[in-house]
Chain A
Amino acid sequence: MGHHVDETASFYKATHTVFGHHESKFLQWIFTVDHKRIGILYGIVMMIFFVVALGTAGLMRYELMAPGADFFTPAGFNQAFSLHGIIMIFLFIVPGIPAIFGNIIMPLMIGAKDVSFPRLNLLTWWLFLAGASIALYSALSGTGFADTGWTFYAPYSIKTDTNVVLILFAAFLLGMASIFTGLNFVVTIHRLRAPGMGFFKMPLFVWGIYSTAWIQVLATPVVGITLLLAIFERVFGIGIFDPTKGGDPILLQHLFWIYSHPAVYLMILPAFGVISEIVTTFSRREVFGYHAIALSSASIAGIGYLVWGHHLFSSGMSETAKIIFSFLTFFVAIPTGIKFYDWIATMYKGSIVMEAPMLLTVLTIITFAIGGITGVTLAAIGFDNQVHDTYYVVAHFHYVMLGGVVFMLFAGMFYWFPKVTGKMYNKLSANISIWAVFIGINFLWMPMFFAGYLGMPRRYFDYLPEFQIYHQIAGIGAVLVIGSLLMMLWNFIRSAKNGEECGENPWNGTTLEWHLPSPPPLGNFAKTPYVDFRPYEFEKGEPKVKDVYQDTKKETK
């Protein structure tokens, strides 16, 4: 290589790239192999797509404020909800917390210099970018964005003349990126933990990322194959899903959900990891039930494979299969409940500080609990029979996805923003936007639980006039949710430039990233630390272990 790079300089100032040294700052970013920069690259691309999908959702809510056609054509509306779903799922929530914080924070937490395969990590981001570009291109060319919904159910996805093949291929590439990320993280967590750090000395966020990574590696190939089969069906007419050629359209639903159900845990487990970090730090005491929280992540990941059939309760599947899938589904609720009780027990006799990350986490516990219990109702076959494919499911899904995963992604942003940028966000703006998004989500989706049970199907461009009141209340909520999420993003953009310096450890956190300077140096730790302490050791509300970075620095000098 020859060129000397100062590993103790901030990672914004120095970087390693895949092709040696570049003068251009831009090239230094897009060819970087530094896990922190790659995490930021993911964050930027994902947030751009997030805003697009958020805007699309806003337009759909506007269309639905009154019955009849107001803004979209029916075909345009169908493309809009498909675009919203596909972007939100494949480009935002699935890469989500792992791509941003798994990359930036996880290696810091285990005392590593980087992930195991830094160049594969960069390739993964490029694959993600390629998938994203193809998705975007499919919206702007030919017959326009797919109108299949994000679920691609056959035979509709075979018959429609929109750009389905392109988006299937994009999703395939994004799936590959997801597999590589998972592989990288599994190997990193197994091989690069600092000496002394056994599995049960890892921070709980790392446990969340670890369980997620296994789902990425084991479940994503199934959807990859399914997407390819759907492409083959459209292009070559192989007759696997098309009933006119002897195929079975329900097979696609099975294959799709064998991946996509574990995928919802892949989305939520890292968010649970973030909750564990934030609740512990801001309760200023050791976490309650460390082993239970760590192992419940793993068991949710395991049970998650066996329950996909609950998405097909109304598909005409056998009654016996329904009963088995229903029964198994309830067992996902148990480890999830255990986590909740452990978090609440962690608050007991703590000394709770209500900074923005904690406020958003507490409100997320409420919204996720609502999403969680309504998920349990859907596991009850008889009740599902009424609300399957209705607004009830839409509301449940958004309470767990927005009110769980996305809220915790933003809570994680508030929590680690000072570490990553060295600056503090605007606290007043943060608190206002957090309360507004909480009020907004309840206006937006609480009425939909009722509308769904009372007869409002999902994916409807138009509706019976009886349902207008529910859509109008939801419309108010949509304005609040969109406005406050944009306000949060604006807060981050402004504060990255103008925020106050925050120092090494503004929250009195105990995990290893809080021992590093903010922003961290390129090489992370001056010398690999020896971890002979548990992740959350507090004494009288203060972190017990101090200055790991300074100590390792002294030793190297």
Chain B
Amino acid sequence: METLSAVEGFWDNATALTASADHAAYMIHVILVALMMTVLAPMFYFLYKYSAKRHPKEKAENITHNISLELAWTIIPTMLMMVIFYYGYIVIKDNRTMPTDAKHIKVIGKMWSWAYEYPNGKKTDKLYVPQNENIILDMTAPKGDVIHAFWIPAFRQKEDVVPGRMTQLWFNATRLGEYDVECTEYCGDRHSYMLSKVVVLPKDEYYAWINSNSAYPGGPDTSSEPMGKTLLTNNGCISCHSMGDETLVGPGFKGIVGRMVKTANGEMTSDRAYLKDAILDPDKDIVDGFSAGMMPTSAGVLSEEEVNQIIDYLSTNK
């Protein structure tokens, strides 16, 4: 099985629960394939033995009942079903019993990017976690957004991310490495690009980074970097907007401050006030060629100061 092509890190036994989840999956399938063979094996045999060629119609017998057989194929499968229920139950029990000594990290899913926020306020676009520690993800989506689902296939873990609600998911990553994150609840045009990574770091490396000024582990000190740039990355803006003039989902950022745009309400200047609206109330004056409902509002996500920092940074991107 382990030669099968899969997402990064799938076979690495990446968390404390991976092996038991795989074992339960294996047992469930073994039991059910065996049960299926109790139907198919006799069928193949009868199709051969009682084909009209070997068993002419004069010999056909009308057997309509056999109480003991009928009881057997009711009771035995019922018992097997309870065994399978048990295998489903023990895995979910481990998966869904949140540890009490865990570190909490916030996950925000929005069209179409993942953002992570650590207890000290640091934000990233990949999820960095320390090895061998219980981590609880507190997940939500902005109220005006849609439902997503956060899946780490290598951890055998998934939970929906629902606007206006908080859901949770926990793990204890035992192996260093990078693991794929995918959105599994259909969320629109860039659903299949709503990807991210979990990066499991050695504890000392993780804590050195989390208390540093680097945007990501091993990265340069970003305290001197414009805040606007960090905000664009960490809030997922650049998964739909390029820094150049290429259109991804939304318009490219090159020269966005000060240019003229055509909207349903006429031509206007993409100035500070316009851009502020575009960030906080995106459907107000949509540039021709783009649709309403595509961009989530950042009202309540970004502070006034942060919005200003973003526009400051964009005005340097000519």
A461: B residues at CB distance < 8 A: 191-192
- The stretch from A20-28, A128-136, A152-160, A418-426 touching chain B is A152-160
Interface string of B71-98 (1 = CB under 8 A from A): 0011001100110110111111001100
Provide the bound-state CA to CA distance between A457 and B95, in Å. 20
A464: B residues at CB distance < 8 A: 7, 180, 195
B1-22 at interface with A (beta carbon < 8 Å): 4-8, 10, 21
Scoring A292, A323, A382, A462 by chain B CB atoms within 10 A of each residue's CB, the highest score goes to A382
B182: A residues at CB distance < 8 A: 455, 457
A106-143 at interface with B (beta carbon < 8 Å): none
Scoring B47, B62, B96 by chain A CB atoms within 10 A of each residue's CB, the highest score goes to B62
Whether the pair B163, A351 counts as a contact (CB closer than 8 A) is no
From B89, B143, B183, B184, contact of A326 by CB (8 A): B89
A-B contact pairs, 7 of them (CB 8 A): A74-B190, A74-B191, A288-B63, A347-B43, A347-B50, A389-B149, A455-B180
B193: A residues at CB distance < 8 A: 462
From B6, B24, B195, contact of A382 by CB (8 A): B24
Interface size class of A (residues with CB under 8 A): 35 or more
Provide the bound-state CA to CA distance between A369 and B40, in Å. 9
- The stretch from B121-129, B153-161, B217-225, B255-263 touching chain A is B153-161
Whether the pair A159, B293 counts as a contact (CB closer than 8 A) is yes
The verdict on A319 contacting B96 (CB below 8 Å), with A334-B78, A455-B153 known, is yes
Whether the pair A292, B46 counts as a contact (CB closer than 8 A) is no
Scoring A156, A323, A327, A370 by chain B CB atoms within 10 A of each residue's CB, the highest score goes to A156
Provide the bound-state CA to CA distance between A353 and B47, in Å. 9
A78: B residues at CB distance < 8 A: 186, 188-189, 191
Provide the bound-state CA to CA distance between A417 and B81, in Å. 39
Whether the pair B47, A160 counts as a contact (CB closer than 8 A) is no
Chain B interface, >50% SS class = mixed
Nearest chain A CB to B40's CB is how many angstroms away? 6
Whether the pair A330, B293 counts as a contact (CB closer than 8 A) is no
Sample of 19 further A-B pairs with CB below 8 A, known A249-B163, A283-B50, A459-B192: A160-B188, A283-B60, A286-B63, A289-B65, A334-B77, A334-B78, A338-B73, A344-B43, A345-B63, A350-B60, A351-B55, A351-B59, A352-B52, A380-B85, A382-B87, A383-B25, A389-B184, A454-B4, A466-B7
Whether the pair B5, A466 counts as a contact (CB closer than 8 A) is yes
From B35, B57, B184, contact of A351 by CB (8 A): B57
Closest 7 A/B residue pairs (Cβ): A382-B91, A541-B57, A380-B88, A455-B153, A455-B7, A243-B164, A454-B6
Closest to A282 in B: B52
B47: A residues at CB distance < 8 A: 347, 352, 354, 362
Closest to B35 in A: A373
Nearest chain B CB to A133's CB is how many angstroms away? 27
- The stretch from B26-34, B273-281, B303-311 touching chain A is B26-34
